[in-house]
Amino acid sequence: MRPIIRTVMFFCMTLLVLTYAIILAYAADVKESNFNKHVTNIDKLTVRKEDLLMQNEQLEVKKAALQSQLVAQTEKERLQKLDADLAAAKLAKEDLLKQQQAILAAQKATQTKTVQRIQNTKVTTTKTVAKTVKKARTRAS
């Protein structure tokens, strides 16, 4: 065997094996980084999901609070309306009472006048009867 062939062949084979080793190491590195890229992507997505989940919970809480506030507000409005109705009813009642009192007073006044008139008529009648009786006695005597 020629020494030059032996030297060249061993050199080439060593170089080849080293090249393959470098390529395989690079491939392993690429595979790992590719894997890590996917893992990082999943981590990012998971964080985003957690954020959204938290936001979702906060929005649910806010919705519940707003709904209860709205219910309370509606109840308040209903009660206010009831109070206003009650006050109006009271006023109407007072008016009615006043009117009733006025009517009663008017009726009483009318009644008094009528009694007075009847009494006056009675007195007049008594006087007239007495006069007539006196005249009749005078005439009779």
Partner 1 sequence: MNKILKYSLIGIPFLIGYIIFSSMISTTQWSWYLTRVFGLVSFIFLFVTIILGELRLLSFVKADFKLFKYHIPISIFTMFLVLLHFISAVFDKFMWGKNLVFSDYLGFSFSDKWLTLLSLGMIAFYLLILVGMTSMRKSIIFMGFKRWKLVHFFSYVSFIFAYIHTVNLGTDIKTSAISFLIKPAMMFCFWLVIALVLVRALKSFNVFTDQVEINLVSAFFIILIVGGVFVATIFFSAILNVPEDKVVAAADVSAEIAYYENANDLLMNQNLALEQKLIESGGVNNAPNN
CA distance 128 to 75: 78
Query: Which of 18, 52, 86, 97 is close enough to bind partner 1 by CB under 8 A?
Result: 52
Is residue 9 within the footprint of partner 1 (CB under 8 A)?
yes
Query: Which of 18, 45, 102, 136 is close enough to bind partner 1 by CB under 8 A?
Result: 45
SS3 annotation, 5-49: HHHHHHHHHHHHHHHHHHHHHHHHHHHHHHHHHHHHHHHHHHHHH
Q: Tokens for 12?
A: 């080439």
Is residue 25 within the footprint of partner 1 (CB under 8 A)?
no
Location of structure tokens 């060593």: 14
How many residues contact partner 1, by CB under 8 A? 47
CA distance 91 to 84: 11
Region label for 10, one of left (φ > 0), alpha (ψ between -120 and 50) or beta (otherwise): alpha
Residues 80-119 that bind partner 1 (CB under 8 A): none
Stretch that binds partner 1, among 67-75, 99-107, 111-119, 127-135 (CB under 8 A): 67-75
> Closer to partner 1 at the Cβ: 61 or 86?
61
| Site residues, partner 1 (CB under 8 A) | 1-2, 5-6, 9, 12-13, 16-17, 20, 23-24, 26-28, 30-31, 34-35, 38-39, 41-42, 45-46, 48-49, 52-53, 55-56, 58-63, 65-67, 69-70, 72-74, 76-77
